[in-house]
């Protein structure tokens, strides 16, 4: 959908203002080092494990693993209690080396982080933009 079609119903002066604002915003975004803050660098794997032992004991666990990590099976109740059924699943995700910006969220899975960003766009940015298009004289919050 073109920008002109998105703002149908605006008078010519408002349309020109909206186009100028769009152009200025594009220049501003272009000048930002936008790739700096989504610098994906560390692939990780989350291991989900469910084990049933000969004694009937069951164990479930989840663990994030880095490249080269060794996978160990949880021991049973004693040496004779061997694992009879082991079910493992793995989920790959990426982490960020941006502690200065993200704080302790450096191991936040990228998929979840991008979902949060999309939610903010849908619930905050788009409604504010729609409000601005309807009445450009009102400042955005």
Question: What pLDDT score does 80 carry?
Answer: 81
Residues 114, 99: Cα–Cα separation, whole Å: 17
The domain of 135 spans 109-141
Q: Is residue 18 part of a domain?
A: yes
Q: Is residue 104 part of a domain?
A: no
Per the structure, the count of domains in the chain is 3
Q: Is residue 101 part of a domain?
A: no
Residues 46, 63 share a domain? yes
Q: Is residue 103 part of a domain?
A: no
DSSP H helices in 12-125: 12-31, 99-102, 110-120
Q: Is residue 102 part of a domain?
A: no
Residues 137, 21: Cα–Cα separation, whole Å: 13
Q: Is 121 exposed, middle or buried (0-12, 13-18, 19+ CB in 10 A)?
A: exposed
Residues 57, 24 share a domain? no
Residues 122, 84 share a domain? no
Coil vs helix vs strand at 128: helix
Residues 44, 91 share a domain? yes
Residues 91, 121 share a domain? no
Q: Is residue 114 part of a domain?
A: yes
- Which positions of the chain have pLDDT values less than 70? 1-43, 94-111, 138-141
Residues 75, 46 share a domain? yes
Residues 49, 28 share a domain? no
**Cβ distance 49 to 85 under 8 Å?**
no
Residues 82, 53 share a domain? yes
Question: What pLDDT score does 9 carry?
Answer: 52
Q: Is residue 52 part of a domain?
A: yes
Tokens 């960003």 -> residue: 117
């Amino acid at each position: 959908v073109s920008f002109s079609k998105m703002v149908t119903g605006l008078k010519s002066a408002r349309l020109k203002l909206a186009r100028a604002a769009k152009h200025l915003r594009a220049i501003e975004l272009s000048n930002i080092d936008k790739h700096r803050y989504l610098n994906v660098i560390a692939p990780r794997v989350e291991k989900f494990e469910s084990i049933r032992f000969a004694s009937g004991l069951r164990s479930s666990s989840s663990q994030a693993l880095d490249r080269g990590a060794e996978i160990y099976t949880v021991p049973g109740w004693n040496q004779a209690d061997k694992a009879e059924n082991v079910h493992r699943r793995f989920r790959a995700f990426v982490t960020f080396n941006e502690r200065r910006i993200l704080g302790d969220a450096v191991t936040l899975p990228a998929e979840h982080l991008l979902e949060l960003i999309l939610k903010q766009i849908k619930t905050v940015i788009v409604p504010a933009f729609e409000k601005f298009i309807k009445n450009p004289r009102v400042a955005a919050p």
